């Protein structure tokens, strides 16, 4: 079974190729079902490989299947090989598992869209690329997948490309990621220069050789890879693309921009943990601080967002920050643990928000929602489970993973823990705010727009679109224009009115919600802290980490105390949100600057347009005058001297003859005086 690892990425690839050729002919829903089947098949194979790996001896759980030599170039050789080990299979399991659920959901969500089959072409290509990233046995193959998921992300963000905002959001994501990719590429160059290989596993793999690296080289590689991870996983300062990436269809936000692709940076750091262990101590500390700073930064922004998907987007950035905090604290198990649980509950909430958007007739503004729990019971209940999970309420999944991260952070530095705790409080607050605005309180939909905004004003929420919101509302606009309305089969729910009566989504969409909700409840069981027998994930990942995991020495009492404090912080956040948004005892404080994301985007724009522009122009002038000047100057000099020297050539044979004669006489004189007879 282990030899079938290559089938895991091969099935989505086959699905992609078939859909590319025959997708349009298959149409709806055939194309969707085919794509789902490809992803589900991949999941089944992954489960098989997982079971086979479980059957192996604890320290032989690493299996490489090399298909062929990809780049033979002298001493540099790269194989197309897939590595099945606990880390990659964990990733592959949730990528294919959640991927399949989201494929299923998309059949319902994309119903009636003009680009239905195109959507599934991209989705299968994404699953393939992600699996190559995860299973690839060398840095270059990982990079291939890395670029593949980036490309799919670009395609899918600007899926409804007829709208300008969507197209530019796609470009923004692509270009921002390019900056990170630069780091990844340079890291590969350094790795090859230092170790002579890019392969992970094996005797001469980089993971085995990592302890021979000089600390300075290891630090350089680790930090350059971290630059790449910052781009892909949306950390400060390269997070700017992720909130805008919400321009894509909601299943894409759930799959790519919450559950899988954005976690690949965390996967990469966990994969190269021996290099991180070999680098200077300040490198992991830097990673931890960047992570926790991102977590807090994004959480503050999420507090003031009004777009249902933007809240989740900033929340994703924040949770990814947690994962990097874990990586930097040496808690790789906790990072992977949180990655998995986050994939469950964040995918759940994104799909839930998609269900709400779908049911509301393409409304994304939370100020025009409210009271939806009666009309969309399944969505509401599952969303609430996701909310409790992310808010860190025991016994839901998020509590266990977040608690473990905070424990390790506390062991590394109480300052990290304090910032993490503050973030946890804010997380509980903004997620509760979202739940209350969407599912509880007054029904603010069904009014004319004026009435709605008046109502909004009465609710104390600042009216007016935040500047950072680049027209992401009504994301189905393109599909509506093309006459393929997602809900047009139900005439009562037409889009002509301001807001139709919200309705629950079809079973195709609610089934994944229910499954993910179940996983969000029990996901914590992967790694319960009580006894070492329950550290399932830790023991499973142990061969990959080989003692690079931080060993913490914290008394049980302290552990319990920290957990209690974390729960109290979460409950405080929820209580605050109840007071502000449910009971309306306190007027909400949502400063405009937070709604605009600390003006991070507009600062970049202002910089690039103002002092930045001047700088760019100075560089351009330098290029024109100094660099080009040097080139042209040499040419001028050559031409000038040529013009002078050509005067020597008179064209008269006699003058040449004179020259010859004089030369001969001179030589003769020289030899006669020098050479004695």
CB of 659 to other proteins, least distance (A): 11
CB of 672 to other proteins, least distance (A): 14
- Please give the angle made by the CA atoms of 670, 674 and 676, to the nearest 5 degrees: 130
Please identify which residue in the block is written with the tokens 């909430």.
Answer: 349
57-to-61, 202, 274, 333 alpha-carbon distances in Å:
7, 17, 22, 20
Q: What is the DSSP string of 115-182?
A: THHHHHHHHHHHHHHHHHHHHBSBHHHHHHHHHHHHHHHHHHHTSSTTSHHHHHHHHHHHHHHHHHHH
| Least distance CB 662 / other proteins (angstroms) | 11
How far is the C-alpha of 203 from the C-alpha of 484, rounded, in Å?
Answer: 57
Q: How many CB atoms lie within 10 A of CB 58?
A: 11
* Min separation Cβ 650 and other proteins, Å: 6
DSSP assignments along 587-613, one per residue: -----HHHHTGGGHHHHHHHHHHTHHH
> In the chain, what is the straight-line distance between the N-terminal and C-terminal CA atoms, in Å?
96
Residue 145 to residue 127: CA distance in whole angstroms: 10
Residue at token pair 């700088």: 615
d(CA 132, CA 127): 9
One-letter-per-residue 3-state SS of 489-511: CCHHHCCCCCCCCCCCCCHHHHH
Write the DSSP symbol of residue 211. G
Q: Minimum distance between the CB of residue 666 and other proteins, rounded to whole angstroms?
A: 14
- Tell me which residues touch other proteins (CB under 8 A): 645-654, 657-658, 661
Give the rounded distance of the alpha carbon of 463 from its chain centre.
31
- Beta carbon of residue 635, minimum distance to other proteins (angstroms, whole number): 19
Which lies closer to other proteins via its Cβ, residue 587 or residue 654? 654
Q: What's the CA dihedral at 31, 35, 40, 41 to 10 degrees?
A: 100
| Cα–Cα distance list, 351 to 98, 439, 517, 581, 642 (Å) | 11, 15, 11, 23, 75
Tokens for 406, please give them.
């905070």
Instruction: Please provide the size of the chain in residues.
Output: 677
Q: How far is CA 140 from the centre of its chain?
A: 19
The β-bridge partners of 72 are: 77
Tell me which DSSP letter residue 550 carries: P
The minimum distance between CB 644 and other proteins, in angstroms, equals 10
CA dist., res. 483 & res. 462, Å (int) = 34
- Minimum distance from residue 663 beta carbon to other proteins (Å): 12
Count of beta carbons in the 10 Å neighbourhood of residue 391: 28
> At closest approach, how far in Å is the CB of 653 from other proteins?
5
Q: Provide the sign of the torsion angle of the four alpha carbons 49, 55, 59, 64, taken in this order.
A: negative
Query: 65 has which bridge partners?
Result: 82
Query: Which is nearer to other proteins, 560 or 668 (by Cβ)?
Result: 668
What 8-state DSSP symbol labels residue 461?
P
The distance of closest approach from Cβ of residue 654 to other proteins in the complex, given in angstroms and rounded to an integer, is 6
Residue tagged 């590429």 (tokens): 185
Could you tell me the smallest distance in angstroms from the CB atom of residue 661 to other proteins?
6
Q: State the Cα–Cα distance between residues 194 and 224, nearest whole angstrom.
A: 14
Separation of alpha carbons 6 and 476, rounded Å = 37
Shorter beta-carbon distance to other proteins: residue 626 or 658 = 658
Distances (CA, A) of 639 to 373, 626, 636, 646: 83, 19, 5, 10
């Amino acid at each position: 079974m282990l030899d079938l690892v290559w089938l895991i990425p091969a099935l989505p690839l086959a699905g992609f190729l078939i859909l590319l050729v025959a997708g349009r002919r298959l149409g709806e829903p055939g194309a969707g079902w085919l794509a789902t089947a490809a992803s589900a098949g991949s999941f089944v194979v992954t489960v098989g490989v997982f079971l086979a790996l479980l059957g192996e001896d604890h320290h032989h759980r690493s299996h490489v299947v090399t298909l062929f030599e990809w780049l033979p170039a002298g001493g540099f050789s790269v194989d197309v090989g897939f590595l099945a080990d606990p880390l990659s299979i964990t990733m592959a399991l949730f990528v294919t598992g959640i991927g399949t659920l989201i494929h299923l959901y998309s059949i319902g969500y994309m119903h009636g869209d003009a680009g239905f089959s195109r959507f599934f072409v991209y989705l299968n290509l994404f699953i393939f690329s992600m699996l190559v990233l995860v299973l690839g046995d060398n840095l270059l193959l990982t990079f291939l997948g890395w670029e593949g998921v980036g490309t799919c992300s670009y395609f899918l963000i600007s899926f409804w490309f007829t709208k300008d905002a969507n197209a530019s959001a796609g470009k923004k994501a692509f270009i921002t990621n390019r900056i990170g990719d630069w780091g990844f590429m340079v890291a590969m160059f350094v790795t090859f220069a230092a170790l002579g290989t890019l392969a992970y596993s094996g005797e001469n793999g980089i993971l085995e050789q990592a302890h021979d690296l000089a600390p300075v080289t290891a630090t350089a590689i680790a930090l350059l890879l971290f630059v790449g991870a910052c781009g892909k996983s949306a950390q400060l300062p390269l997070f700017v693309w992720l909130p805008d990436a919400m321009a894509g269809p909601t299943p894409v936000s759930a799959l790519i921009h919450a559950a899988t692709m954005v976690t690949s940076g965390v996967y990469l750091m966990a994969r190269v943990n021996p290099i991180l262990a070999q680098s200077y101590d300040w490198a992991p500390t830097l990673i931890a601080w960047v992570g926790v700073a991102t977590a807090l930064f994004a959480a503050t922004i999420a507090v003031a967002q009004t777009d249902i998907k933007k809240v989740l987007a900033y929340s994703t950035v924040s949770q990814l920050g947690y994962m990097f905090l874990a990586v930097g604290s040496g808690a790789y198990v906790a990072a992977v643990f949180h990655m998995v649980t986050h994939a469950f509950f964040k995918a759940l909430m994104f799909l839930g928000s998609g269900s709400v958007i779908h049911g509301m007739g393409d409304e994304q503004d939370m100020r025009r929602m409210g009271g939806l729990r009666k009309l969309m019971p399944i969505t509401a209940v599952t969303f609430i489970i996701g909310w409790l999970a992310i808010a860190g309420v025991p016994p839901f999944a998020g509590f266990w993973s977040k608690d473990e991260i905070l424990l390790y952070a506390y062991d590394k530095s109480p300052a990290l823990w304090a910032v993490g705790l503050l973030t946890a409080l804010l997380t509980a607050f903004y997620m509760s705010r979202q739940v209350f605005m969407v599912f509880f309180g007054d029904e603010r939909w069904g009014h004319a727009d004026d009435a709605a905004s008046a109502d909004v004003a009465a609710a104390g929420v600042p009216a007016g679109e935040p500047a950072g919101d680049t027209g992401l509302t009504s994301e189905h606009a393109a599909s509506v224009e093309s006459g393929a309305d997602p809900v047009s089969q139900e005439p009562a729910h037409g889009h002509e009115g301001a807001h139709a009566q919200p309705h629950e989504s079809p079973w195709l969409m609610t089934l994944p919600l229910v499954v993910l909700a179940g996983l969000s409840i029990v996901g914590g069981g992967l790694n319960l802290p009580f006894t070492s027998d329950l550290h399932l994930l830790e023991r499973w990942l142990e061969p990959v980490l080989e003692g690079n995991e931080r060993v913490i020495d914290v008394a049980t009492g302290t552990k319990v105390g920290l957990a209690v404090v974390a729960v109290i912080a979460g409950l405080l956040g929820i209580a605050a949100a109840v007071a502000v948004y449910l009971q309306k005892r306190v007027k909400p404080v949502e400063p405009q600057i937070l709604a605009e994301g600390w003006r991070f985007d507009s600062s970049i724009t202002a910089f690039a347009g103002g002092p930045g522009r001047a700088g760019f122009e100075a560089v351009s002038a330098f290029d024109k005058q100094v660099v080009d000047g040097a080139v042209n100057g040499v040419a001028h000099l050559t031409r000038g001297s040529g013009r002078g020297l050509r005067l020597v050539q008179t064209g008269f044979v006699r003058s040449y003859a004179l020259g010859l004669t004089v030369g001969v006489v001179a030589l003769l004189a020289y030899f006669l005086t020098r050479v004695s007879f």
